Amino acid sequence: MQKRTLGNNLEVSALGLGCMRMSHDESPLPDKQEMIQLIQSAVERGITFFDTAQVYGPFTNEALVGEALAPLREHVVIATKFGYQFGPNGENMGLSSRPEYIKQGVEGSLKRLRVETIDVLYQHRVDPNVPIEDVAGAVKELIKEGKVKHFGLSEAGAQTIRRAHAVQPVTAVQSEYSLWWRTVEENVLSVCEELGIGFVPYSPLGRGYLTGTLNEHTAFASVDVRSRLPRYTPEALKANRGVIDLLTRIGEQKGATPAQIALAWLLVQKPWIVPIPGSRKVERLEENIGALTVHLSPDDLQEIQRAIAMITIQGDRYPENLQRMTNL
């Protein structure tokens, strides 16, 4: 497996594995033992970078990842996220990045992940009620205590990244990035490059759309986040089909699938970009890994750029109430 470096010195596999939907946003939930085997098979295939969060479940996803990777701890990098407050029964009470709450949450994450140190700790979403300097300061203390190795931000804007980095160096920024969501190209990627910060695209396959397996007839379970996102209405799925046609055409030239072209396109953008596609089947995992062998020439990239510029993506990424929580 090819390796890449996030920040100054965090070496990870060139592709990571997003674990959220192994125990979150699904009905029925996948079988736990099957997901443990899948995570372990990912390690066997060279993947070393695994992504989870407190809010996935809540908590059950961290426990799943912790159980799966406990026997393989020395071979992997585990990233998790704080930033939500939970009620007495685990219910999501909204954003909270108060320093005392960050530290309390990390204690739970350490136990669930079965680790002594969290490799990467992201703020899941920027909390407008807590100065980012206070958040970075709290994580800095956790790093000094040996409970965290690296600080990350998720869905943060350029100025927030700068302010946080001035207090505690940021190793990685995680935000949505794919051929059909490229907002981070406007200013976030340039700040990451300037400051030496790695970038971790989540939903690099457009929550499954860029695989070419979804269409206007696809039905999403009520717990599936896509059932609440404007971009996944039947009308938008049909209107955006031009993106799939593009990926399919390039893929036929390369002997690759649409998903592999989408991932290969991301990988060639910057050498410090590490996508984390989610997989719940070994065949999908292997397909994604196959993207690492797909070569896109400058001519291929120009063709993709020209074609995508002609396509107007239909549907907002999030409803208005959730969109306000991104890029702060």
pLDDT tens per residue across span 197-255: 999 999 999 999 999 999 999 999 999 999 999 999 999 999 999 999 999 999 999 99
Distance (Å, rounded) from C-alpha 209 to C-alpha 288?
14
Domain contains 118: yes
Distance (Å, rounded) from C-alpha 250 to C-alpha 275?
20
Q: What is the pLDDT of residue 26?
A: 86
Distance (Å, rounded) from C-alpha 204 to C-alpha 105?
28
Q: What is the number of residues in the chain?
A: 328
pLDDT band at residue 27, thresholds of 50, 70 and 90?
confident
Distance (Å, rounded) from C-alpha 73 to C-alpha 21?
22
The first and second tokens of residue 239, run together, are: 């209107």
pLDDT band at residue 269, thresholds of 50, 70 and 90?
very high
Lowest mean pLDDT among 38-47, 77-86, 216-225, 249-258: 216-225
Q: Is 155 left (phi over 0), alpha (psi -120 to 50) or beta?
A: left
pLDDT at 80 over 60: yes
pLDDT at 51 over 90: yes
Distance (Å, rounded) from C-alpha 108 to C-alpha 89?
15
Instruction: Look up residue 135 and give its DSSP letter.
Output: H
Q: What is the pLDDT of residue 325?
A: 57
Determine the distance from the C-alpha atom of residue 284 to the mean position of all C-alpha atoms in its chain, rounded to a whole number: 17
Question: Full-prediction pTM beyond 0.85?
Answer: yes
CATH number of the domain where residue 235 is located: 3.20.20.100
Domain contains 319: yes
Radius of gyration of the chain (CA): 19
pLDDT band at residue 89, thresholds of 50, 70 and 90?
confident
Query: Hey, what amino acid is at 259?
Result: A
Strand partners, 202: 176
Domain contains 328: no
Distance (Å, rounded) from C-alpha 257 to C-alpha 68?
29
Strand partners, 154: 174
Domain of residue 164 covers 3-323
Domain contains 226: yes
Q: What is the pLDDT of residue 25?
A: 86
In tens, the pLDDT along 171-183 reads: 999 999 999 999 9
Domains contained in the chain, number? 1
pLDDT at 327 over 60: no
Do the beta carbons of residue 291 and residue 267 sit within 8 Å? yes
Q: What is the pLDDT of residue 319?
A: 87
Instruction: Look up residue 80 and give its DSSP letter.
Output: E
Angle at 113 (CA atoms; ends 226, 90), nearest 5 degrees: 55
Determine the distance from the C-alpha atom of residue 50 to the mean position of all C-alpha atoms in its chain, rounded to a whole number: 10
pLDDT at 72 over 80: yes
For the chain, what is the mean pLDDT? Answer: 96
pLDDT at 322 over 80: no
Q: What is the pLDDT of residue 99?
A: 98
pLDDT at 324 over 80: no
Do the beta carbons of residue 75 and residue 43 sit within 8 Å? yes
Domain contains 241: yes
Do the beta carbons of residue 70 and residue 112 sit within 8 Å? no
Mean pLDDT of the region 99-117: 98
Distance (Å, rounded) from C-alpha 6 to C-alpha 172?
6
Distance (Å, rounded) from C-alpha 60 to C-alpha 163?
32
The first and second tokens of residue 262, run together, are: 């989408």
pLDDT band at residue 10, thresholds of 50, 70 and 90?
very high
Percent above pLDDT 70 for the chain? 98
Distance (Å, rounded) from C-alpha 315 to C-alpha 244?
16
Q: What is the pLDDT of residue 75?
A: 97
Catalytic residues: 56
pLDDT at 317 over 70: yes
Q: What is the pLDDT of residue 328?
A: 59
Q: Which residues contact 182 (CB under 8 A, 6 or more apart)?
A: none
